[in-house]
Structure 1
Amino acid sequence: MNHLAYRRDIDGLRAVAVIAVVLFHFGIPGFAGGFVGVDVFFVISGYLITSIICRERASGHFSFVAFWVRRARRILPALVVMVVACLVVGWFLLVPRDYEELGRSARYQAMFISNVLFARQDGYFDTDSELKPLLHTWSLAVEEQFYILLPLLLALLGRYVKAWRRGLLGIALVSLAVSLWQVQHASAQAFFLLPARAWELLAGSLLAVAPVFDRAVSSVVRHAVATAGIAAVAVAIACYDWQTAFPGMAALLPVLGTVAIIWSGSGQGTWLSRMLGTRPMVAVGLISYSWYLWHWPVHVFAEYAAVDGIAMHENLALMLCSLLLGYLSWRWVETPMRGRRWLAQPRQALLGALLAMVLVGLAGQSLRWSEGVPWRLSTQALGYANASQWHAGQRDCMFEAATAPERLICHFGPRGDEALPPLVWGDSHAAALIPALRVHSEHTGQALDLASSAGCIPVAGLERNALCRQFNAQVRRVIAQAPRRDVVLVARWTLYLYGDEHGDLTYRLPGPDTSAQMADALKREVQALRQGGSRVWLLDEVPLQSANAPYRLSRLAMLERPTQGVGRSLSEHRQRQAFMHALFAELAAGDPQVRILDTTRLFCADGITCVAEAAGHSLYMDDNHLGDDAARFVAPLFAPLLSPAKVTGQGNSH
């Protein structure tokens, strides 16, 4: 059989790829684009696998079964061990929702389609991705799908297409076109799915089969190409970051750089191939697969256990821990299976692989069926974890396109013949107040009304879409029909000013000066309400927490760490709210019938921390929306609405 000659420099290139990925994931400065290490792996895989298939086909020894058995021996044993270890660690560490999602990820990976699952969820760079121990298996799924399809593709092209290399090039160009389109219109699919990634693997395949590269080339040219190739990869690693539209056009840099490195290292070799072929680089390259498998779960579970973040020296220790686990996996799992010391016969290997995948899939599905095995948790930890969902009908009162006009307003408390009750009007933060409004009505006997629509700021001219304009217009018509009532304006005000703290600008007002837009529009809105005879209440934004409160609290409880006093510092809250506080103060100072409901005094009573929990309950359902258990804590906020002060008609205008 015509075997492919071993190249030490390619193992060294694997070391470059895995080091870039690991340093990126552990947040080491200078490696913000380290995720392109995966693209380097793709090109290497395409080159080696295609070279092996073509040589075996040329010698008449190629077998589909033998090829897939070798791939199974290479990939599955270490992968199965890692997944099982994650399921075991998750039992002791993960809250039910995350444990259930881990099981779901394991089931999809058992079917070689975890990339499909992650494409439907959060993006690779989203905050929630930091809590997915198997997120990194998306790239393995892409390679597994490629390994299944490539031999079939080469066989079909070789049989039915005379210029089969051009056919392979055409498929690669189509995949590149898909990537270029999807990165602009469906970024998650572009990042995770094979159609937009196949061209990277096929770039290696084309290098393996292109006859032009067999010709003699001068040493000067090879050195120049090697230098350009490693420079391209280095630039991508150093200069790309999570904001880079990727893969698409940006992926050409690391992909073509890798092609250049592999090509230049053949034959006489270059300075780069000699450096990549040194013993330390080759040693890291040999364990690169296992290190890649273990580094991400180590990082995720450490983040879970640390809760409050990980220091740089701890990060370095965790990287070394993952490297040790990678070595042990390579030494005791990868090597014995690849050397056929276990399950030596192809049939045994295939049956063993199938059985392992079935068992992993069933284990994952059982976690889905059991909803993450919630009885693992203490009563307190489970209570915190359950706070991550609304159960008090908050979504029932959110206006949508199909909402009937008579359901625009939700009513709480007894209806009487007296003046109309106060109206709470706003976005999803208004809906989050429903449990507190119910408690307030029950304790005081006072009726309250509410109108809310997610992502819709209750200010004319600032609406982000037609639905919000429709919602606000309908609420204004209701107010105009009976104008002399209290109106409470509620919103996550800073979301529209700055976007969220994770960089999502979806709800941010357009244009460069959002502060001026907010000030002008809110002043006009308040003036219009006052001229209609309404008394206006401005609800100060609920303090934004620095992390998902139920998750953080439940994880602390699972680790038997104290939860009292957990929250965000008052100084950080004031810094983010400074403009809105000043604007509210200006509006209230100019008119006694414009009042402020101050959440800061309630949540930040000690003058140090804006708390996320009280009396053993989470006050939030995420990092910004109040949860069900906040009802009694927040209800006193509405006591000023019982003030005997009367609405005085026109009032002052601004």
Structure 2
Amino acid sequence: MSKKLSFRKDINGLRAWAALAVLLFHFQLLHFSGGFAGVDVFFVISGYLMAAILYPQVYQNNLNLFAFYNSRIRRVAPALIALVFILFVFGCFFLIRLDFNELLTESRYAATFRYNLKYSDFDYFGRSVNEHWLMHTWTLGIEFQFYILFPVILFAINKITKIKKQVVNILLAISIVSFLAMLYKLSVSPQKAFFLLQYRIWEFLAGSILFIYQYKLEENNYNLLINRFLKIILSFFGWGILIFFFLFVKENNSWPDYRSIFPVLATLLIIAPGKDTFLTKNIIAQKIGKASYSIYLWHWPVYVGFILFGLDNIYQLCCAAILSILLGFFSYYFFERPNFIGRLSIIKQLFLMVLLIISVDKFLQLVSNEKIKLPIENQSIHMEKYFEYSTEKGRMCLDNAELCLFGVDNEKPSFILLGDSHAGSIVSGLEKIAFDKKKSFLLFASHGCAIITGIKSDNKNYEKCLRLNESINKIISSNPNVKIVILNRYNEYLLRHNEKDDFIISPLYINKKPDINNAELVNLVRSELAQGFFTTTCRLSENNSVYWVKPIPEMGVNVPNELIRAKFYHNSDISIRVSKKDYLDRNNKILQLQEKSEKNCKVKLIDPTTILCDQDWCYSSDKDNILYKDDDHLNPWGAAKIAPLFEELFN
């Protein structure tokens, strides 16, 4: 095999089909339900081609890392940075400030190939992915991280005389470990298994192993024993697997899983014979293959833009798909293919490209931090106040799980408010009453903290919550006869969040540890937590007056976000609300426990729905103001709205 791999029409054509599969999957066209596997095809091809570039150099001890890194960065960065710049300009004129700020954050991580690291906890197959303009650049992050790591692996193997001849076996061992780690990670954190290189490198290495195996065979003058007819059979068998996968396999929230072997195997079968077929050698496949990277870059932002502005029927999405291909060709010819600095030395080229990436990152950072002011003024500005949350002191107390006094200093606290961020969200409304009445109250709360005696968690993020629960008795003893008010987002622990795409379960437990893959165990853990809420509240009521606040209605969507977007992008006023029936159904378990505590433990109940709801609906806003800061937390206007329910506590 020659030192330099010649242009492979079969691989170029396969790139075209992989890019189209991803595009058609995202645009939901032609039933390409498994088109997401086009990314896996790209990974295998990338591994094969990187081995083709690097292994002959490593094998012959003339590896030029600077040249390799320069070729990779020049291949990927110009078109990506052009996309980031164009989206930046677009955002200045057509996005609300909220979405523009998110775009700035995404652009920074995309331009520096860190997107997959930043968003490694995100659900790629969820609906909210449509709000992220550059979500698809996670693949570029993983690719570039492979570019950095792979030559180091090959170089290290080649420098150790005893193992240099075992390069295929070593890479195979790394692949097996990566594959098994991926399967394990799916049961713990499926999002990380999707986004991180250590769980995906086996796909790259599958392609690399194939090239190195072929290279070593030819280097040793062995006959590959693959005749022309067998090459055709292998190629078409691979295509059969791949097309079947693209058309009939459906995505789920745990990809890649064991099924990812099939598109990887299919890709190997297609590229191993080096046989061009009618699927790849035609001029359309060749043209699209050459521009496949730029088409991939542009297809997702075009899709997000069409969805954002309500252009989402089948005909409009077809137009969007065509537009993304045209923009991809434009990007290929004007940004990706030209080499504007080709006359410079390799070191200078590499230095300039790295400097460009760093400059883009720093510029976006300065804009994000408002060190560089932009003339972005739109209808969302007057609504940004509704994203406020609690008070500055209240947020600090929540963050640190500290005991804080609100209202008039040196006044004996009228009550102590216990709970999680829902308790913190109403502080501003209660503080106003406290000042009016020249009274005070205490807040003892922490984010995601269920008020349950004996609560446990293996998650270090909940250490403050555990300490808070352990300290409650001490705090109450220091304030004898103090009234106790308890407010939690109970369903965060007894069910799960109801925001779209949120499948996270609480890591808190009492006896049994939760396991998301064991439904029976999850239900047992939640039953124990429910009983824990009840017994803890009743125990506290033995020596103190206890007021248990019923659940705050959860809207399921970020209220200010949705209202702003509807007004700015569609010039429409929408009403966000949940039915009273849905509220009662979702909160059935905790409401039963609260009523039981009222009857058996003389606990008094405070019901926010008497103000936030009528007989049929629970509302996210009134005629004057928005009441929520997101999907479930009240903002200061919502806190002020329900504050009269707590007025008697100050008497």
What range is the shorter-chain TM-score in? 0.7 to 0.9
1:231 — aligned with what? 241
Q: Judge conservation of contact 1:603–1:610 (CA < 8 Å) in 2.
A: yes
Q: Is the 8 A contact 1:131 1:304 kept in 2?
A: yes
Encode CA deviations 1:110-155: one digit per residue, 9 max, x unaligned. Answer: 4444444445x75656777554323322322333344456567657
Output the amino acid matched with 2:291: I
Q: 1:143 to 1:471 in 2, by over 3 A?
A: closer
CA separation in 2, counterparts of 1:439 and 1:561? 36
Contact between 2:175 and 2:206, CA under 8 Å: does it hold in 1? no
Q: Secondary structure at the match of 1:424?
A: strand
Distance 1:548 1:440 in 2: 28
Structure 1 unaligned spans of 5+: 644-654
- Secondary structure of residue in 2 paired with 1:142: helix
Farther-moved stretch of structure 1 (503-512 vs 177-186): 177-186
Q: Which residue of 1 aligns with 2:328?
A: 326
How high is the sequence identity, in percent, across the aligned residues?
26
Please show how residues 34-53 of structure 1 align to structure 2 within 5 Å.
34-52=35-53
Q: Residues 47 and 442 of structure 1: is their aligned pair in 2 closer, same or farther, counting only changes over 3 Å?
A: same
What's 1:88 paired with? 89
Aligned equivalent of 1:295: 299
Residue 138 of structure 2 corresponds to which residue in structure 1?
Answer: 138
Cα deviations by residue, 1:145-199 (Å, 9 ceiling, x for unpaired): 4445656765776677587462354245336535644763776665445455444
What is the one-letter code of the residue matched to 1:17? Answer: A
* Cα pair distance change 1:567/1:332, threshold 3 Å: farther
> Contact (CA 8 Å) 1:385, 1:554: kept in 2 or not?
no
Q: Residues 415 and 441 of structure 2 are in contact (CA less than 8 Å); yes or no, is this contact kept in structure 1?
A: yes
> What is the alpha-carbon distance in structure 1 between the residues aligned to residue 369 and residue 376 of structure 2?
15
| 2:479 pairs with 1:487 | no
Query: SS of 1:624's equivalent?
Result: coil
The one-character-per-residue Cα deviations of 1:212-233 (angstroms, maximum 9, x if unpaired) are: 5961236458626753675378
Shift of 1:496: 1.3
Q: Could you tell me which amino acid in structure 2 is paired with residue 254 of structure 1?
A: P
1:204 counterpart = 2:197:
no
Q: What's the counterpart of residue 343 of structure 2?
A: 345
Instruction: State the partner residue of 2:518.
Output: none
Q: Could you tell me the TM-score, scaled by structure 1's length? A: 0.78
Which of these residues, 228, 231, 244, is aligned with residue 254 of structure 2? 244
Equivalent in the alignment of 1:387: 387
Amino acid at match of 2:562: R
* Maintained 8 Å contact 1:428/1:453: yes
CA distance in structure 2 between the partners assigned to 1:517 and 1:180 by the alignment: 34
Write the letter of the residue equivalent to 1:453. S
Amino acid in the other structure paired with 2:398: M
How far off is 1:623 after superposition? 2.0
Structure 2 equivalent of residue 652 of structure 1: none
The answer to whether residue 270 in structure 2 is matched with residue 261 in structure 1 is yes
SS, match of residue 17 in structure 1: helix
RMSD value, Cα = 4.4
Q: Quote the residue 1:361 is aligned against.
A: 361
Q: Counterpart of 1:288 in structure 2: which amino acid? A: S
Give the structure 2 partner of residue 170 of structure 1: 170
Instruction: In structure 2, give the amino acid aligned to 1:524.
Output: T
SS of 1:136's equivalent? helix
**Within the alignment, does 1:537 sit opposite 2:547 as a pair?**
yes
Selected match of 1:448 from 426, 441, 447: 441
Is this contact kept in 1: 2:404–2:443, CA < 8 A?
Answer: yes
Change (3 A) 1:50 1:522: closer
Partner AA of 1:76 in structure 2: A
**Is this contact kept in 2: 1:229–1:259, CA < 8 A?**
no
Q: Which runs of 5+ in 2 are unaligned?
A: 515-520
Q: Which amino acid aligns with 2:468?
A: F
Moved more, 181-190 or 542-551: 181-190
For 1:143-222, what aligned pairs fall within 5 Å after superposition?
Answer: 143-147=143-147, 161=161, 164=164, 166-167=166-167, 169-171=169-171, 173-174=173-174, 177-178=177-178, 180-181=180-181, 184=185, 191-211=194-214, 212=217, 215-217=224-226, 219=229
- Deviation of 1:370 (Å): 1.7
Tell me how far 1:266 sits from its aligned partner: 2.4
Q: Partner residue of 1:630?
A: 638
State whether residues 538 and 597 of structure 2, in contact with CA within 8 Å, keep that contact through their aligned partners in structure 1. no
What do residues 323-352 of structure 1 show as CA deviations (whole Å, max 9, x unaligned)? 3322333354445x2xx6x66635597687
> 2:238–2:267: 8 Å Cα contact kept in structure 1?
no
For residues 28 and 492 of structure 1, the distance between their equivalents in structure 2, rounded to whole angstroms, comes to 40
Deviation, 1:410, is 3.5
Q: Are residues 372 and 458 of structure 1, via their aligned partners in 2, closer, same or farther at CA, if it must alter by over 3 Å?
A: farther
Mapped pair 1:621 → 2:618: no
Cα displacement (A) at 1:293: 0.1
Structure-to-structure mapping, 1:362-441, within 5 angstroms = 362-370=362-370, 373=373, 376-378=376-378, 381=381, 383-384=383-384, 387=387, 391-398=391-398, 408=403, 410-413=405-408, 421-441=414-434
Give the 3-state SS of the residue equivalent to 2:497 in structure 1: coil
Match for residue 527 of structure 1 among 538, 548, 552: 538
Deviation, structure 1 residue 310: 5.1
Distance 1:241 1:642 in 2: 55
Aligned partners of 1:49 and 1:165: how far apart in 2?
19
**2:560–2:629 CA contact under 8 A, matched in 1:** yes
Q: Distance in 2 between matches of 1:595 and 1:153?
A: 66
1:474 is displaced (CA, Å) by 2.8
Q: Deviations over 1:333-389 (max 9, x none)?
A: 445x2xx6x666355976875675455334323323426857623485264267266
SS at match of 2:484: strand
Which whole-Å deviations, capped at 9, do the CAs of 1:500-552 have from their partners, x for residues lacking one? 2311113576432567545544443443344x254432312222122223433
User: Which whole-Å CA distance do the structure 2 matches of 1:537 and 1:276 have between them?
Assistant: 71
Q: Distance in 1 between matches of 2:384 and 2:629?
A: 9
Q: CA deviation at 1:19?
A: 3.2
The 1:603/1:626 distance shift into structure 2, 3 A limit, reads same
Cα separation, partners in 2 of 1:32 and 1:520, compared to 1, 3 Å: farther
- Count of matched residue pairs: 620
Shift of 1:605: 4.3
State the partner residue of 1:651: none
CA contact 1:295–1:322 (8 Å) conserved in 2? yes
* CA-to-aligned-CA distance 1:543-577 (integer Å, 9 cap, x gap): 21222234334444554845574444555434423
| Cα separation, partners in 2 of 1:356 and 1:238, compared to 1, 3 Å | farther
Greater displacement, 3-12 / 450-459: 3-12
